[in-house]
Chain A
């Protein structure tokens, strides 16, 4: 039996260095930041050149240990997956305030629904047990595919135009989704300044609209919880005989005079 080749290969192998240094592995690692810490105190003098030599030798072993730990990590294809960070490091900005989950997010979390990241090209056909393309040449197609009717709402009566039925269905669903999306934004903004701003905007538009009618909206249909309107007068005139009597009227006139004089004085 010719073992010389095996012996030679082994000889070559033995000539290779060992990836395990002599020192004991007492290092602490945080592979998320690719760091290794060797707490063993180092005895290095004050001479720079000598210290550099000592550091080089010490570092080689520590780097070897770090590399060994990295090569022990789980792999995803050709890359290593790093574990989560253990070192406590401060952030640059405070973390964002957690947003209230939307109705869908809550439902998805309860049911364990995860967003589909990528569709596979081939799909398992349950009847045959084979993988066929999802679309394209050899794909398995639905029976009435030539009709191209919406999968969701393919119900139509005799004599009805299925395309019109599908189109109507789509319109309804779009409107429904838009309504739901609007409700979602309102639900999410409940309590925030955006919601109160929306309310005041609506109130301002309402009062402006009321002013457009001759009666200041006196006969308009009222919205629920609408605040009572203060005045239904379009034009306000002062009383002929003012409440406070002559003194009140005099004071009011003096005030106006004062403003006019102030303005002319400024000029």
Chain B
């Protein structure tokens, strides 16, 4: 890591962030574009709440627009090592949208723009954003007790994916992105059972090949006939229906590079060594293949090859009497 610019000056040097074999928490850059309306802004706030406190919030002045100007986000990623981003925008063409995305080595890897589904007129008005399939966290929590809807910020969500998320590329990659966005990190390899009732559950239900419902629920445990608890689920946060408006997915080569695992060189036994079934180390000596006939060895009468076909070579000078 270079520190300090040899030429001096305000800019300083590029401080590269050191990579670790197992990464910690990924931060998310959250900010609305200047076009974002009330619904989009509130929805962004609701979604960012799932990621708190690993969130870096920016205001509308920053005007984050990933599809139009990705460089702004990449620059922030470089400076602060933020690899996820969540922005909101409102356009006439697509309506209220949330764009989710992630970076690799501070360059955009994937991004998807999710548009809030507009309710058909036949459905009637639905509070407080009539005409949209969206219930904000405030709406949901207004009629419920705090204990039923509050979740602990230190617990990362559970995920439930319902419906067909695998058959369509856009939906499959969106699923991967949603998991990446809200999950914890790989260093956490333990789960405390007492925390489950205070953990949010992100429920994503695929309704169509480009439409899905995403909502936040919470589990409540009660006694059951078995050792496992009986689960009761309740809506504890926002609920919204999205369609995939547009997406930009990474090239397969870049994705492969991004998904590469860290190699632990010490784990490898070394060349030519392996362990057999009993746990014993078995090593293979490198040796050129040996032709038994050509190798230099003590030659006995029986192993000698005849010089001319048909005749036998004999040791000693006794006359041949077998013919």
Interface residues of A (CB under 8 A from B): 13-14, 16-20, 31-42, 44, 46-49, 51-52, 55-56, 58-60, 62-64, 66-68, 70-71, 73, 76, 78-82, 84-85, 87-96, 98-101, 105, 109
Main secondary structure of the interface of A (DSSP, over half): loop
In the complex, are the beta carbons of A79 and B190 less than 8 A apart?
yes
B residues near A91, Cβ cutoff 8 Å: 19, 23, 104, 258-260
Report whether B164 and A59 are in contact in the complex, using a CB–CB cutoff of 8 Å. no
**Complexed CA–CA distance, A40 and B119 (Å):** 25
Q: How many A-B residue pairs have CB under 8 A?
A: 216
Residues of chain B within 8 A (CB-CB) of A62 are: 160, 162
> Of the candidates B119, B158, B223, B264, which one forms a contact with A35 in the assembled complex, judged by CB atoms under 8 Å apart?
B158
Given known A-B contacts A19-B229, A48-B119, A82-B191, A98 and B263 have beta carbons under 8 A apart = yes
Q: What 0/1 pattern do residues 246 to 280 of B give for CB contact below 8 A with A?
A: 00000000010111111111100000000000000
In the bound complex, how far is the Cα of B233 from the Cα of A10, in angstroms?
27
Cα separation A151 to B27 with both chains bound (whole Å) = 51
**B231→A67 contact, CB < 8 A:** yes
Cross-chain contact A95 with B160 (CB below 8 angstroms): no
Contacting residue for B231 out of A40, A51, A60, CB 8 A: A60
B239 part of interface (Cβ distance < 8 Å): yes
Chain A residue, CB-CB nearest to B206 = A42
Contact present for A79 and B193 (CB under 8 Å): yes
Q: Which residue of B lies closest to A36 (CB)?
A: B160
Pair B262/A96 contact, Cβ less than 8 Å: yes
A58–B217 CA distance with the chains assembled, in angstroms: 13
Select B239's contact among A52, A78, A79, A85, beta carbons within 8 Å.
A52
Let me know if A35 and B159 touch, CB within 8 A. Answer: yes
Q: Give the interface centre of A14, A44, A93, A105 by most chain B CB atoms within 10 Å.
A: A93
Residue of A nearest to B191 (CB): A80
Contact indicator A71/B225 (Cβ below 8 Å):
no
Q: In the complex the two chains form, is B119's CB within 8 Å of A51's CB? A: no
On whether the beta carbons of B123 and A47 are closer than 8 Å, the reply is yes
List of A residues within 8 angstroms of B23 by Cβ: 91-93
Q: In angstroms, how far is the closest chain B Cβ from the Cβ of A75?
A: 9
- B81 located at the interface, meaning its Cβ lies under 8 Å from any Cβ of chain A in the complex: yes
